[in-house]
Structure 1
Amino acid sequence: MTLDLSTIRTVLFDMDGVLYRGDQVLAGVDELWRWLEAQGVHYACITNNASRTPAQFTQKLADMGLQVPPERIITSALTTNVWLRERAPQGTTAYAVGMDGLRDVLFGDGYFVEQTERPAYVVVGADFELTYAKLRTACLAIRAGAQFIGTNPDKTFPAEEGIVPGCGALLAALEAATDVQPMVIGKPERAMFDTALHLLHAQATTTLMVGDRIDTDID
């Protein structure tokens, strides 16, 4: 199959492992973005990493010399929030295992109410400060009937020092403890790409995805 790049108007870039590893930008990224701009091709970042908010990712990229505004960064946490709001009314209770990137979008404006006992949803994202207590609370809530939601399926995460456990590893632990399979929202699920196309006013037929994992970026 031959790809006709002349038809591409938008390019979506995965972030971890594609633009950078840890805090080190990968070679050629800035030059590629300047070339795309010269060709009139829009680009944005789409990541399964739910640990940071778009604004925090903007700052991380800026620290590495890359300039991307928050509105051009779509995270799995953002997509999960959109998916949930299409199905749950304001005031619905939820318990989140995750970091700022997930907690801010879920609870920041008060749409969802954080609750540890018998919440309607348990939402799990990457959590680099994970404790047994968090897993225990999530496990009990799921066993009590909460709907089990995962922001993304990535079992591992490319850190600067090497490969470390990702969100998928947390989901696997909770699935083993509850016998409940999570509903996963992030890449490669369609909801992630539909959200990106909607927010960027782009068309699927003229959009290219660039990633480093066939199982989550392309499949």
Structure 2
Amino acid sequence: MIGDTVITLKNVDIYQPKHLVLANVNLKIDKGEFVFLIGQTGSGKSSLLKIIYGELHIASGEGMVAGFDLKKLSEREVPFLRRKLGIVFQDFHLLTDRTVEKNLEFALRATGWKDKNLITNRMLDVLEKVGLRSKLKKMPHELSGGEQQRVVIARALLNNPEIILADEPTGNLDPETSEEIVLLLKEISRSGTAILMATHDYQIIRNMPSRIIKTGDGALQDNVSI
């Protein structure tokens, strides 16, 4: 169905900066899909994510992400593309000098939200989704690693993204907490937000099978098995 695809890359060459990292990349991810991205360090995983969120430009081929044409994407449009994306990193990137509430409020105001009631309601809504509504007034250092990553996921959900890019989101977490985070991301995908999760954790993939794409030898392989 038209409108169900959130990422389309056709015959895309990815350079970093002038070195060809991935050649002839073809990828399609639909609304609500959960996809694992695997590959050795330096094989192009991060470069692929950077193409998707507009950090790198397409050298050749075609790309559409959340309705934006990556080939024609201007610097001015990049922030608007990123409002359609949620990004979750291994290192939590929370503002350590302010509460969970103020972290989320900062992100909302930075993306154009002004109405205080709407801001409050949206913050409570996303914290409810990640099971942290009671942690609104906590500082990041008062939270466990898993709770901090849940706050990051809540922040990624603030603007109702069409896709969440999760780059090693369990890299700093123990196995049990890692599994909880992936279960949460899978639950989010069932509500219609596509998830692309880069990971080195093959145990997680074995425990929670899903579509796998792999970077290596300068190419992207789809539907691989491990």
Q: Flag whether TM exceeds 0.5 (same fold).
A: no
Q: Which structure shows the bigger proportion of residues in strand conformation?
A: 2
TM-score by length of 2: 0.30
User: Greater relative contact order: 1 or 2 (C-alpha under 8 angstroms, separation 6 or more)?
Assistant: 2
Q: Which structure shows the bigger proportion of residues in helix conformation?
A: 1
